[in-house]
Chains A and B, each alone.
Chain A
Amino acid sequence: GAGVSQSPSNKVTEKGKDVELRCDPISGHTALYWYRQSLGQGLEFLIYFQGNSAPDKSGLPSDRFSAERTGGSVSTLTIQRTQQEDSAVYLCASSFNSGGAGTQYFGPGTRLLVL
């Protein structure tokens, strides 16, 4: 079946504007994750959803960042009042939880550039 999809693939915005990033997980995957990857860096965990609830929001860098998931499927990551340091690739992953650590499958990412 289809893999994880993300949109838009690229986003250029001006400082201070709000942006919404979308993630469509693999059908049937109950868990969904957002990560941020700055240029040449590793992955920074942002938030994890199990179904529609987010038991772990510990990685959100500030209150300008929020995320929601509806219907146990699509998730939206919103960044308000964007700053230049928000420029990064935002990666979404999904997994099917089977009692152990479900393998996460990643989408292609959204490249965000804040001018």
Chain B
Amino acid sequence: AQKVTQAQTEISVVEKEDVTLDCVYETRDTTYYLFWYKQPPSGELVFLIRRNSFDEQNEISGRYSWNFQKSTSSFNFTITASQVVDSAVYFCALSGGVSGGYQKVTFGTGTKLQVIP
């Protein structure tokens, strides 16, 4: 069975602060994919990143960075110098290759981030 845990339900930060959103996953698959999605107040889920289990390199995209650590089954997401536009619910997700099937994606319950001006 697959599971994604986002322990932080809600986080509030002041604009320009850095913030890290935690994601811990469980899977028995040796090949799997991890995702982050953003859901702004408008409601539409926006794809941010996909990472496969063989690539543990950290990734940076502008103010966003992701830290994938297989040893701790974590795929954390950091926003540097947060902005009000970053206010949204962020979902971490997992797609497995064997037990879950590649195409079934298990989502975490989301972390609501509020950036206060």
Contacting pair B43 A109 (CB below 8 A): yes
Ranked 5 nearest A-B pairs via Cβ: A101-B33, A106-B45, A101-B95, A42-B109, A43-B107
Partner of A56, one of B42, B101, B107, B110: B101
Interchain Cβ contacts within 8 Å, total number = 60
> Taking beta carbons and an 8 Å cutoff, which residues of B are in contact with A?
32-33, 35, 37, 42-47, 50, 52, 91, 95, 97, 101-110
Instruction: List residues of A (83-114) whose CB comes within 8 Å of B's CBs.
Output: 89, 91, 93, 95, 97, 100-109
Answer yes or no: A27 CB below 8 A from chain B CBs.
no
A93 to B101, CA, bound (A): 17
Would A56 and B102 be within 8 Å (CB), given that A42-B110, A106-B44, A106-B45 are in contact? no
Known: A42-B109, A100-B33, A101-B33. A107 touches B44 (CB 8 A): yes
Contacting residues, chain A, for B107 (C-beta < 8 A): 42-43, 45
Residue of A nearest to B107 (CB): A43
- 9 A–B contact pairs at CB < 8 A? A31-B103, A33-B103, A42-B109, A56-B103, A56-B104, A100-B102, A101-B102, A106-B44, A106-B47
Cβ-defined contact, A42 with B105, below 8 A:
no
Please determine whether A50 and B103 come into contact, CB atoms closer than 8 angstroms. Answer: yes
For the complex, count residues of A whose C-beta is within 8 A of B: 25
Of all chain A residues, the one with the shortest Cβ separation from B9 is: A40
A9 to chain B, nearest CB (A): 10
Chain A interface residues (CB < 8 Å from chain B): 31, 33, 41-43, 45, 48, 50, 55-56, 89, 91, 93, 95, 97, 100-109
Given A31-B103, A50-B103, A101-B97, 4 other A-B contacts at CB below 8 A?
Answer: A41-B109, A45-B105, A93-B45, A104-B35
